[in-house]
Chains A and B, each alone.
Chain A
């Protein structure tokens, strides 16, 4: 066997005087291998990547173990030696490409720094090599990219530039830390398939791919390590870990995903109780024991499973860190079924021809053009219904949610609720009843609760505004309804976890008798293991109150799981709407098709449909024409001439496209993974 490119043994890392964040990580990556490291926030997965480069920041230090990169011991290397390694033997791609590049330096110069490092200032002109690498990361016109400034590129383009920069180092080890987090699903898929392509063509480059997204990991990794609380708890090939998970944590995590084929839409998601522990809160015994369905008292809460043991019945190399490995059962099905909902008939909100556009401003007050956030958007939400708005960033989902809550007003069109048009009424002019009737749960619970107020006060105010007394009993009932600990009312938001804060936000939204709850990406900022519980909580309370929900999300599996109706937006235009079954079934709009093609379940055998490439530069946008035209893979000559008609089927399934529904019934050909 050849020498591994990366060899980590017993790695322990601590920040400041705190407890160890990494508690003995062992990991090896062979040349040409792609290793996927999965874990939730706080599991220590990014710390592994930074420890490998010995770049832990001021407070971080390696307290134990050893890291060998290409045979060099990172712990004892000199600063100069480390720099040699960084520029030549390993390279890293970070999360959030928008901040990873120097805003005041042209792309070409930034890219040239790495090859210059190798050849020296007076060396050969690196332009040819740079253009070559830019072509590899799928830039059609790499010469143009060299002259650009970072702010002139989109997020996906920037991340490809950052990957190109890493590849220019011709590294033996490529580290990718959440490279697609924050990018749109379609772009995410593109970057993931690019990484896969690079891995296949690299000829011996080892890749460490870090992500919390099991679907993406399934797409790129050969082997997978699952991290929990600073340790790898399970490791094996992608197929072993994802198809036959051995550790209860992996099993529970996979079972909690909304795309889980075992749980049909409409059923409850499987939830994992509790929270990801902080390193200083770890009790003796297995770190996952407090949340584990297979926890055996007297065993798991006392002994620490020190070693990885072979998963029974699985192939070579599949190991897990669990004391009950042989006899741990599969996660139990959720006992409760989804509560029956009252769908009384009638509408809560009726949106007709809503329009909103913004003027983008240039520096020094010049006009840069109009951005259309909503263009004649029409939909209706029935009483007690869950309607989802889906689309990429910039599609106008949030603008519509803001108009309905009164944080923004429409340019034209109407939104009828409680007998009045709310499209032109900012929140400050709305009546108390109207405000209480339409409530919102925001994406990021960290900054939507006043940190100075105790939870009890936050809820009391919400209750009073909703026309109730706000007594201690009512607050306690609300706290219990969202399954927060009873003493939560006495705490301030800072003392709560992200999931708990989102529970407070949900409690606040439901404090009055809201007819409509607008949930703007309510779980996307939360840990994977907490998401299912929040979604189910939202559904339970909604069923009890009979409120309707406008659910804004980019997570199509989640949308499919919980919605009654779905509206697909592209650049402010509704391209498709219908019942969940209609939108996720056939026929489908080419854009919906593209979004669904980007969905990747945590299954290494999943074959993604490959969209035919379209020549983006061939089509231009024009007002009135289909906004999706420049990206459409099913473009017709007609599309560049007239706006597409909206065809509505007898069952109410609307698609705005020139193609006849029969043409949109064909599925795209699938391409097998290389």
Chain B
């Protein structure tokens, strides 16, 4: 078991390394010169030239990748720091530390600091959304699957199909229209401004609701079909014909086997929300990773884009790893002795 985990971890580290190179290479194609972006529109050609030289912007791609990686793991100091650029003066960690993504051109702050605020917000959103999605979709999916063909099943199935076919922004706009614009119960945007006791909480309700509706409709359908498939397995027939009570059959024989497929989907949902639901965060003006990604892209903040993409990659790889681990725990056939 431990060997499987280590083996898998090694594989993921390798994947991350390859992917980080690819993303570094791809961001090369973004328009604009980094040095002129840093120095602003009124910089002289010679100034841009000299900063380019200092940053090594004309070095070969692979050299620059290694320098970026070295900076990230704390082996190489950040060349951009210092009075010359006016950046990094405020970084109390110095120019060389682990997790050094460099400076956000857009905000003029170390990227770790920018991420720390925003990522925390997105995690809050994720925890609430997934924390509600999982129980809701398990209960609805199992109910529908167990009573396949019944009125309850049909109601659940039709509702979930309609909800999955609605894009999130439609749901978001509808909810804003009803609860913010018409009823006025909740704020229509969620910039997480601190106010009175319930202010932040009330700003969370609508974005979380949109995510829960989108995710749980999808996950419910997966759970339902997995339960239906498992119920048709001969071993369930064996269990029933053994004379076991229906509850025992459901809990012991059906559920564990039916959970294998939904686990991946749930982890994909976590991945989806955690790496920034750009549209939802943009609509609600929610200060999370997704909106940050949008802003960075519009500004052309290349270091921030690289940092965000690398984080998205790590999240994807980690959820994948957790999914594999869950498989191993749920399905003994994978755990070949």
Task: Check: B334 CB closer than 8 A to any chain A CB.
Answer: yes
Task: Check: B192 CB closer than 8 A to any chain A CB.
Answer: no
Q: Which residues of B contact A165 (CB under 8 A)?
A: 238, 242
Asked whether A151 and B333 contact (CB < 8 A) given A99-B233, A113-B244, A364-B7, the answer is yes
Please measure, in the bound complex, the distance between the C-alpha atom of A9 and the C-alpha atom of B66, giving whole angstroms. 84
Please measure, in the bound complex, the distance between the C-alpha atom of A152 and the C-alpha atom of B335, giving whole angstroms. 11
Asked whether A104 and B336 contact (CB < 8 A) given A117-B243, A364-B7, the answer is no
Q: Which of B245, B257, B334 contacts A102 (CB 8 A)?
A: B257
Asked whether A364 and B244 contact (CB < 8 A) given A105-B253, A149-B332, A151-B332, the answer is no
Task: Check: B331 CB closer than 8 A to any chain A CB.
Answer: yes
Contact between A100 and B238, CB atoms less than 8 A apart: yes
Number of interface residues of B (CB under 8 A): 31
Asked whether A99 and B234 contact (CB < 8 A) given A87-B243, A91-B242, the answer is yes
Please measure, in the bound complex, the distance between the C-alpha atom of A670 and the C-alpha atom of B77, giving whole angstroms. 87
Q: Which of B149, B235, B252 contacts A100 (CB 8 A)?
A: B235
Please measure, in the bound complex, the distance between the C-alpha atom of A165 and the C-alpha atom of B241, giving whole angstroms. 11
Contact between A55 and B244, CB atoms less than 8 A apart: no
Task: Check: B239 CB closer than 8 A to any chain A CB.
Answer: yes
Please measure, in the bound complex, the distance between the C-alpha atom of A123 and the C-alpha atom of B206, giving whole angstroms. 52
Q: Which residues of A contact B234 (CB under 8 A)?
A: 94, 96, 99-100
Q: Mask for B304-337, Cβ within 8 A of A = 1, else 0?
A: 0000000000000000000010001011111111
Q: Which residues of B contact A344 (CB under 8 A)?
A: none
Q: Mask for A25-68, Cβ within 8 A of B = 1, else 0?
A: 00000000000000000000000000001010010000000000
Contact between B257 and A86, CB atoms less than 8 A apart: no
Shortest beta-carbon distance from B254 to chain A in Å? 9
Asked whether A169 and B235 contact (CB < 8 A) given A105-B253, A149-B332, the answer is no
Q: Which residues of B contact A100 (CB under 8 A)?
A: 234-235, 237-238
Q: Which residues of chain B (211-255) have a CB below 8 Å from chain A?
A: 233-235, 237-245, 248, 252-253
Q: Mask for B243-272, Cβ within 8 A of A = 1, else 0?
A: 111001000110011000000000000000
Shortest beta-carbon distance from B140 to chain A in Å? 22
Q: Which of B243, B335, B337 contacts A86 (CB 8 A)?
A: B243
Contact between B238 and A363, CB atoms less than 8 A apart: no
Contact between A86 and B332, CB atoms less than 8 A apart: no
Asked whether A104 and B244 contact (CB < 8 A) given A364-B4, A364-B7, A364-B8, the answer is no
Q: Which residues of A contact B235 (CB under 8 A)?
A: 99-103
Asked whether A87 and B333 contact (CB < 8 A) given A99-B233, A102-B253, the answer is no
Contact between A55 and B328, CB atoms less than 8 A apart: no
Contact between B257 and A55, CB atoms less than 8 A apart: no
Q: Which residues of B contact A85 (CB under 8 A)?
A: 243
Asked whether A55 and B237 contact (CB < 8 A) given A104-B256, A364-B8, the answer is yes
Q: Which of B4, B237, B335 contacts A94 (CB 8 A)?
A: B237
Interface of B is mostly: helix
Shortest beta-carbon distance from A398 to chain B in Å? 24
Q: Which residues of chain B (140-161) have a CB below 8 Å from chain A?
A: 149
Shortest beta-carbon distance from A114 to chain B in Å? 6
Please measure, in the bound complex, the distance between the C-alpha atom of A105 and the C-alpha atom of B330, giving whole angstroms. 10
Q: Mask for B83-123, Cβ within 8 A of A = 1, else 0?
A: 00000000000000000000000000000000000000000
Q: Mask for B142-182, Cβ within 8 A of A = 1, else 0?
A: 00000001000000000000000000000000000000000
Q: Which residues of A contact B337 (CB under 8 A)?
A: 152
Q: Which residues of B contact A362 (CB under 8 A)?
A: 336
Q: Which residues of A contact B257 (CB under 8 A)?
A: 102-104
Task: Check: A368 CB closer than 8 A to any chain B CB.
Answer: yes
Please measure, in the bound complex, the distance between the C-alpha atom of A152 and the C-alpha atom of B237, giving whole angstroms. 21
Shortest beta-carbon distance from B226 to chain A in Å? 13
Please measure, in the bound complex, the distance between the C-alpha atom of A104 and the C-alpha atom of B4, giving whole angstroms. 19
Shortest beta-carbon distance from B322 to chain A in Å? 15
Contact between B333 and A103, CB atoms less than 8 A apart: yes
Please measure, in the bound complex, the distance between the C-alpha atom of A152 and the C-alpha atom of B4, giving whole angstroms. 19
Please measure, in the bound complex, the distance between the C-alpha atom of A362 and the C-alpha atom of B239, giving whole angstroms. 29
Q: Which residues of B contact A149 (CB under 8 A)?
A: 332-333
Q: Mask for A63-93, Cβ within 8 A of B = 1, else 0?
A: 0000000000000000000011111100110
Q: Which of A169, A364, A368 contacts B242 (CB 8 A)?
A: A169
Contact between A101 and B336, CB atoms less than 8 A apart: no
Please measure, in the bound complex, the distance between the C-alpha atom of A88 and the C-alpha atom of B241, giving whole angstroms. 10
Q: Which residues of A contact B252 (CB under 8 A)?
A: 102, 105
Q: Which of A117, A169, A363 contacts B336 (CB 8 A)?
A: A363
Q: Which of B4, B8, B242, B328 contacts A114 (CB 8 A)?
A: B242
Q: Which residues of B contact A84 (CB under 8 A)?
A: 243
Shortest beta-carbon distance from B195 to chain A in Å? 50
Q: Which residues of chain B (23-53) have a CB below 8 Å from chain A?
A: none
Q: Which residues of B contact A169 (CB under 8 A)?
A: 242-243
Shortest beta-carbon distance from B337 to chain A in Å? 7
Please measure, in the bound complex, the distance between the C-alpha atom of A389 and the C-alpha atom of B212, giving whole angstroms. 60
Task: Check: A516 CB closer than 8 A to any chain B CB.
Answer: no
Task: Check: A422 CB closer than 8 A to any chain B CB.
Answer: no
Task: Check: A322 CB closer than 8 A to any chain B CB.
Answer: no
Contact between A87 and B244, CB atoms less than 8 A apart: yes
Q: Mask for B60-72, Cβ within 8 A of A = 1, else 0?
A: 0000000000000
When C-beta atoms are compared, the residue in chain A nearest to B149 turns out to be A58
Please measure, in the bound complex, the distance between the C-alpha atom of A162 and the C-alpha atom of B241, giving whole angstroms. 12
Residue from B237, B243, B328 having most chain A Cβ neighbours under 10 A: B243
Q: Mask for A144-178, Cβ within 8 A of B = 1, else 0?
A: 00000101100000000010010001000000000
Residue from A58, A85, A100, A364 having most chain B Cβ neighbours under 10 A: A364
Residue from A91, A99, A101, A102 having most chain B Cβ neighbours under 10 A: A102
Shortest beta-carbon distance from A206 to chain B in Å? 17
When C-beta atoms are compared, the residue in chain B nearest to A361 turns out to be B336
Shortest beta-carbon distance from A207 to chain B in Å? 16
Q: Which residues of A contact B237 (CB under 8 A)?
A: 55, 94, 100
Please measure, in the bound complex, the distance between the C-alpha atom of A134 and the C-alpha atom of B242, giving whole angstroms. 17
Please measure, in the bound complex, the distance between the C-alpha atom of A400 and the C-alpha atom of B135, giving whole angstroms. 52
Asked whether A83 and B243 contact (CB < 8 A) given A104-B331, A363-B335, the answer is yes
Q: Which residues of chain A (238-264) have a CB below 8 Å from chain B?
A: none
Shortest beta-carbon distance from A5 to chain B in Å? 17
When C-beta atoms are compared, the residue in chain A nearest to B327 turns out to be A363
Please measure, in the bound complex, the distance between the C-alpha atom of A84 and the C-alpha atom of B245, giving whole angstroms. 10
Please measure, in the bound complex, the distance between the C-alpha atom of A87 and the C-alpha atom of B244, giving whole angstroms. 7
Q: Which residues of A contact B243 (CB under 8 A)?
A: 83-88, 114, 117, 169
Residue from A92, A94, A99, A104 having most chain B Cβ neighbours under 10 A: A104
Please measure, in the bound complex, the distance between the C-alpha atom of A99 and the C-alpha atom of B256, giving whole angstroms. 16
Please measure, in the bound complex, the distance between the C-alpha atom of A92 and the C-alpha atom of B7, giving whole angstroms. 43
Q: Which residues of A contact B8 (CB under 8 A)?
A: 364
When C-beta atoms are compared, the residue in chain A nearest to B334 turns out to be A363
Shortest beta-carbon distance from B39 to chain A in Å? 50
Shortest beta-carbon distance from A620 to chain B in Å? 18
When C-beta atoms are compared, the residue in chain A nearest to B333 turns out to be A151
Contact between B242 and A363, CB atoms less than 8 A apart: no
Contact between B241 and A86, CB atoms less than 8 A apart: yes
Q: Mask for A96-136, Cβ within 8 A of B = 1, else 0?
A: 10011111110000000110010000000000000000000
Q: Which residues of B contact A368 (CB under 8 A)?
A: 336
Q: Which residues of B contact A96 (CB under 8 A)?
A: 234
Q: Mask for A350-386, Cβ within 8 A of B = 1, else 0?
A: 0000000000001111101000000000000000000
Please measure, in the bound complex, the distance between the C-alpha atom of A114 and the C-alpha atom of B242, giving whole angstroms. 7
Q: Which residues of B contact A92 (CB under 8 A)?
A: 238, 241
Q: Which residues of B contact A104 (CB under 8 A)?
A: 256-257, 330-332
Please measure, in the bound complex, the distance between the C-alpha atom of A673 and the C-alpha atom of B334, giving whole angstroms. 44
Shortest beta-carbon distance from A79 to chain B in Å? 8
Q: In the complex, given contacts A55-B237, A103-B331, what are 16 additional A-B residue pairs having Cβ atoms less than 8 angstroms apart?
A: A83-B244, A83-B245, A84-B243, A87-B243, A94-B238, A99-B234, A100-B238, A103-B332, A105-B256, A113-B239, A114-B242, A114-B243, A363-B4, A363-B335, A364-B4, A366-B336
Q: List 7 A-B contacts (CB under 8 A).
A: A88-B243, A96-B234, A103-B332, A104-B256, A104-B331, A114-B242, A151-B332
- In order of increasing CB-CB distance, the 5 nearest A-B pairs are A87-B243, A86-B243, A99-B234, A363-B334, A149-B332
